[in-house]
């Protein structure tokens, strides 16, 4: 599994741009449109693909039905869709299950980061922590208390 390194706003921006191209565009054309190198938009592409919002046949970006629905939805429905899509990612689903089974529905940032490092084989678990926390906060799935360095399950 790829390690996502794009926040929600970057993924939404990517989806909106693909939608502007009638839902399908060559990734290099999109990078040119943003006046960026292809590798600069790859994290957003990987995140959107991981979440099931785009498919990438032969280098093209194509909005999936889920991606189209996400874009057409209001903020609360977008949060619900993102939460559902995150829970379809095996390592996220297992992490949430672990949190649900804990007595107080929380774990330390250190435990959370260690889990991500092992589950997603990340070379940059701290960055992955920040990205997934960004997604999970938007989706109202997790919250983080920086004073205690603990991650809490919202659901």
Say if residue 1's pLDDT is above 50.
no
Helices 75-87 and 65-72 cross at an angle (nearest 10°) of: 150
pLDDT at 121: 74
Q: Which fold has domain 8-71?
A: Arc Repressor Mutant, subunit A (1.10.10)
Q: What is the pLDDT of residues 21-64, one digit of tens each?
A: 999 999 999 999 999 999 999 999 999 999 999 999 988 999 99
Q: What is the pLDDT of residues 106-146, one digit of tens each?
A: 999 999 888 888 877 766 778 888 888 999 999 999 999 99
CA-to-CA separations, 43 to 37, 74, 107, 111, in angstroms, rounded: 12, 24, 27, 25
The reply to whether the predicted model has a pTM over 0.75 is: yes
* DSSP one-letter code for 57: G
CA-to-CA separations, 15 to 32, 70, 71, 78, in angstroms, rounded: 16, 9, 7, 13
Q: Which of 89, 20, 18, 80 is nearest to 51 (CA)?
A: 89
pLDDT at 155: 66
* DSSP one-letter code for 141: S
Q: What is the pLDDT of residues 84-98, one digit of tens each?
A: 999 999 888 988 999
């Amino acid at each position: 599994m790829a390690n996502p390194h794009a926040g929600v706003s970057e993924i939404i921006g990517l989806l909106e741009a693909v939608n502007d191209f009638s839902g399908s565009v060559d990734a290099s054309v999109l990078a040119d449109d943003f006046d960026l190198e292809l590798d600069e938009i790859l994290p957003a592409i990987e995140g959107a693909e991981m979440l099931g919002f785009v498919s990438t046949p032969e280098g093209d970006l194509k909005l999936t039905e889920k991606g189209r629905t996400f874009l057409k939805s209001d903020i609360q429905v977008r949060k619900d869709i993102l939460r559902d899509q995150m829970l379809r990612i095996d390592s996220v689903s297992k992490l949430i299950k672990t949190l649900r089974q804990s007595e107080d529905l929380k774990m330390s940032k250190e435990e959370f980061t260690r889990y991500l490092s092992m589950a997603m084989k990340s070379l940059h678990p701290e960055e992955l922590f920040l990205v997934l926390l960004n997604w999970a906060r938007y989706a109202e799935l997790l919250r983080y208390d920086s004073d205690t360095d603990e991650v809490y399950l919202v659901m």
